[in-house]
Structure 1
Amino acid sequence: MHLQSEKKFTALSFFSGGGLLDYGMKEYFDFIWANELNPQPALCYKHNVENHIVVGDIESIIDHTPSALPEVDVAVGGPPCFDFTSNNTAGKGQQGEHGKLIWAYFNGIKLVKPKAIIFENVIGLYKKHRSTLDELLNSFRAIGYQISLGSLNAETFGVAQSRDRLFIVGIRKDLGFTFRFPQPPHVHKTVRDALSDLPAPTAVNQPILVPNHVVTWTSPTPERIHDLMLHPRNQWIGARRLQWDNVSPMIGFNIGKDGRAFLHPEEDRKITVREFLRLMGVDDSFVIPDTVKITNQYKLIGNGVAVPVARALAETLHQQLRDALSN
């Protein structure tokens, strides 16, 4: 779809992170405001999306300067998922410091009342915290939204990663329609498809050939990787070597310090930031600035939305909004 001659819908995002969700949607929506608490991923957002991101506590913005939130057609965002994730047995749900932020998202929507909303989170919110999810859905309905709930796995959208995520899409009731989720194209890619055309990564302090494709051989050393393979319970739990002809397991926010939880299919090293971006379906024009610490580079990827999924949602919502407003 060519949008150059079409007026885009305006949008804002909460909990914007490094901007992967907005990056995947910006062809269809004109983002004019975004918010992120952590200044490090916000640097990545500025570099790849736009300079409009506001760094600060969204709860404080809503409570003290609500007029800072602009009127927009669409609001998107994925509140922190740590307290809802399925593999976090100590997850506190909405009682946790992270979990309670789903209500900051809700309060932002209540203020702005956009035509449509997109909320993203982990499947654990559905599987382990269903009462909280139901409370959130009913709250959206109470302020005037027709709600659609669904899960999308990035693997079915041509991403070389099994990444299942929960999405809430709300349409303001006065628009008179219910959102229909995009049908996945079921284009399957393997780790080989995603990574095999990359050159060898650059060593630290050497000229960089591909942005964010830099590796250190000292953290962890090849010797420690071999020890990990022989004695996995004595090292980092969950570290695994990727398989060329399969998809990557889910890349989460806890991918290990500096990404060391995932190993290259053949080489005795961790996966580079560029390789992780490839496994999120991100094209190489997306570059994380060197001013972002390496640990934060890996973390913002693990917290992000696979770009082809974001793009499919944006295209579908854009078309359905246009159809509804043209009738």
Structure 2
Amino acid sequence: MNFATLWRVVWPERGPLFVVVGGIVSLAGDFASFLGNIASPQILVWPAVGLAGLLSWFCLGQVSKVPAGAEAAVQEEAIQCRECDAFRVMLFASIGVILLLLAGQGTTATERIGTQLGLIQQDVTAIREDTTAIRDVTSSAELVRNPRSAADFFRNAWIYNMVRRDNAAAWESIQELYRRHNPNKLDAAELYFNTGRMSLTRDQLMAQMIDVGRSRRDAAMLVIAARNMDSNDDAFALYEEARAIDPDMPFAYWDVARVQLMQITSGATSRDNLAAAQAAVAGHERFLEVASRKPVASYFYLPQHQADFETLARSQLESFQSNAQTWERIVQQQDELQARQRAR
């Protein structure tokens, strides 16, 4: 048997077909090994090589029986026998198994590919989680491109003021909020006051806030204006207007953030300080009573950035109750002293 005949046995005219079939067999074996969780995938090589060797013995035995001078048709018939076809399939399957083991680096190629895909999926998941986390952080500072609602305008004004430090843009956005809407939110009115101070004088700003509060019937705007008035009498007048607009706003009855309402001066008489302490007690009690009707947080766009005013009011109430009792004893002692002096 010469080399040409041997090559014809290995690679006949239908050689590519046997390569494809052998590759399919090797892939099926590799996948079956993965599913079967075979401890040593190298074991697949030996059955494939053994079958290829056994079938080659039958195939070459058939081909060697053909005389050297036989007709070409007889030689071709010997090469195309069933044993030779099976030998070629197992030969290419053996080669495929070896290549797949090399690709798998000690494991099945299917397992190797699955591991790589799993790692890729883990990377994609990690990237998605990181992107989501970054998005969560940055989204809180994103402007609303086409603001329509009152909350949209407030959000933009707040971001301009607190994040971007662009007071001019914040002032324009907060003014647009009150031109289009009636928010009745204390933090919106307070932002109006804080941003407006950069563009207007204090008197101009206070007059404008009062005008906006009256024209838009926004009680919160009047409360913030009253909070920043120099005179208690002027402040009380604005609080009264705010109560008429929104009877459920506790800050319109007693504004725990207006320090002037709770000042007890050393130059005042004991009776004046007693009256001031009693007024503060009554005011805090009124605030807490009205606050029980409706959540105080509903008067803020961002209640999480505000103090716990109800707790603050209770704490201040206890302090002023104690102060009132002290001044009451002082006044009583003074009255008793004056009565004894008159009796002499």
TM range (shorter): under 0.3
Q: Which has the larger radius of gyration?
A: 2
Q: Larger RCO: Structure 1 or Structure 2 (Cα < 8 Å, ≥ 6 residues apart)? A: 1
TM-score by length of 2: 0.23
Identify, as 1 or 2, the structure richer in strand.
1
